[in-house]
């Protein structure tokens, strides 16, 4: 384990469902990130939180809603998703809001939208 834990590991949901992805780290990191990894495409940054405040939102559709209740936990709330949203969703954290410290990634949640 890397120190960043993501649950669930796999999720299948219908287009009308509401579900949440959870990310947890106890590394003492102050920044957390959501990435989307689709086949044959570079990783896409979705959201960035630094000290529990959202600092970046890269034009992500509103059907994805992040939440960071404290510096150790990050959620991604999903509703009315589309089949093209099927992907591996990766959570990462870093000591500070700077990638130069290196990111620690979780193992991801494999999401399938049917």
Size of the site for another protein (CB under 8 A): 21
CB nearer another protein, residue 49 or residue 103: 103
Tell me the closest approach of the beta carbon of residue 62 to another protein, in angstroms: 23
Using rule CB under 8 A, residue 59 touches another protein: no
Residue 51 has which token pair?
A: 């000290």
Identify which of 42, 29, 28, 27 has the alpha carbon closest to the alpha carbon of residue 97: 29
DSSP for 8-39 reads -SEEEE-TT-EEEEEEEE-S--SEEEEEEE-T
Q: Contact residues for another protein (CB under 8 A)?
A: 2, 4, 6, 40-43, 45, 90, 92, 97-100, 102-108
């Amino acid at each position: 384990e890397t120190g960043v834990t993501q649950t669930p590991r796999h999720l299948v949901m219908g287009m009308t469902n509401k579900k949440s992805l959870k990310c947890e780290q106890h590394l003492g990191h102050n920044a957390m990130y959501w990435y989307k990894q689709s086949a044959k495409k570079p990783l896409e940054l979705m959201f960035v939180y630094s000290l529990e405040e959202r600092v970046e939102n890269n034009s992500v559709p509103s059907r994805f809603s992040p939440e960071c209740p404290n510096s150790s936990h990050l959620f991604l709330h999903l509703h009315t998703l589309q089949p093209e949203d099927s992907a591996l969703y990766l959570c990462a954290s870093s000591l500070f809001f700077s990638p130069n410290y290196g990111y620690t990634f979780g193992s991801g949640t494999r999401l399938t939208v049917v």
